[in-house]
Amino acid sequence: MIELQQLHKTFGGKIAVQDVSFSAPDGQITGLLGPNGAGKTTTLRMLYTLLKPDRGRITVDGVDAALQPLEVRRRLGVLPDARGLYKRLTARENIAYFAQLHGLDAQLIRRRSDALIETLAMQDIAERRVEGFSQGERVKTAIARALVHDPHHIVLDEPSNGLDVMATRSLRDFLRQLKAQGRCVLFSTHIMQEVAALCDRIVIIAGGRVVADGTAAQLRELAGEQSLEEAFVKIIGSAAVGELA
């Protein structure tokens, strides 16, 4: 269970995130939906303790991120916006490096890597150097690297960015598997179809604020629209108007 309460962050006087509160329960996929520049990445960066919020509180299973940042990071599997892999290492070496940083022993690293390589269908690229990987192969490697310590909470920043249709489909299947295992999955996106296809709960963020929070049905009802896309446009539109007023 991830809980964010009244987060606030400014960069050099410019407000990036304002009063953001929401929670991501276990066994569900929570989508953080919003246009580019809405504050999604900043919010997630505060969650995985790369940035310190100016105000507000973050807990992961009750552990306070401000007080025990290492403990929080241990519980999270993170696919950040920046996916940089080490291109002179093989996919397997990239995965093993992060496993070592989590303090896993060699035997466990081998077992977990094998399992992830199989699940993500990476057998034919595992021993190759990352240099020259396709975008889809990179994302797979980055996801395997993020999950090698078997985290209960999984945070993904725009995971489908740059993926083709087939890769996106298998990513969705994979996220559903994680959910079925009872894990807490939180991901951000600016693509409507993504949340519609996957999420149990949707948090819409615009202009650094949470403007709506609920299931797809609740959001359609809130906006009085039949399609989720129309509801999204309407909610974000009204938020922008609210911002101007």
Partner 1 sequence: MSPALAVYVKECRESLRDKRILLNALILGPLLGPLLFVGLLGFAIGHEREQADKPLPVVIIGAERAPNLVAALEQQGLQALPEPGDGDGDGAVREQRASLALRIGDHFAEDWRAGRPAQVDIIYDSSQREGGSQFERLHGMLENYSRRTGAMRLIARGLVPSAGSGLLIATRDQATPQARGALLFAMLPYFLILTSFIGGMWLAIDSTAGERERQSLEPLLVNPVARERILLGKLCAAASFSFTSLTLGLLAFSIAVRFLPSQRVEMSLSLGPAVMGTILLMMVPLVLLIVISQMVVAAFAKSYREAQTYVGLLQLLPLIPSIALSVLPVTPQLWMYSLPLIGQQLAMLRLLRGEAVTALPLALCTLVTVVAAVAAFLVAKRIYESERLAVNA
User: Which residues of the shown chain bind partner 1 in the complex (CB under 8 A)?
Assistant: 11-12, 45, 48, 50-52, 70-71, 73-74, 76, 78, 80-89, 93, 97-98, 100-103, 142, 145-146
- Between 32 and 211, name the residue whose CB sits nearer to partner 1: 32
- Closest approach, Cβ 231 to partner 1, in A, equals 32
Could you tell me which residues are beta bridge partners of residue 31?
Answer: 187, 202
In the complex, the smallest distance separating the C-beta of residue 74 from partner 1, rounded to whole angstroms, is 4
What is the Cα–Cα distance from 126 to 214, expressed in whole angstroms? 39
The beta strands (E) that lie in the chain are given as 2-11, 14-24, 29-33, 55-60, 63-64, 76-79, 153-157, 184-189, 201-206, 209-214
Least Å from the CB of residue 9 to partner 1: 10
Instruction: Find, among 98, 93, 120, 96, the residue nearest to 107 by Cα.
Output: 96
The residues with which 8 forms a beta bridge, in sequence order, are 55
Tell me whether residue 88 or residue 124 sits nearer to partner 1 (CB atom): 88
Identify which of residues 102 and 128 has a Cβ nearer to partner 1 in the complex. Answer: 102
154 contacts 184 by C-beta, under 8 angstroms: yes
Residue 76 or 202 with smaller CB distance to partner 1: 76
Q: What is the DSSP letter of 51?
A: S
Nearer to partner 1, 12 or 62 (CB): 12
Whether the CB-CB separation of 190 and 158 falls below 8 Å is answered with: yes
Report the nearest approach of partner 1 to the CB of residue 87 (Å).
8
Q: Which residues contact 83 (CB under 8 A, 6 or more apart)?
A: 138, 139, 142
The nearest distance, CB 100 to partner 1, in angstroms, is 4
The CA distances from residue 68 to 77, 99, 101, 120, 149, in Å, are 16, 20, 17, 32, 18
Least CB distance to partner 1 at residue 127 (A): 14
Nearer to partner 1, 132 or 224 (CB): 132
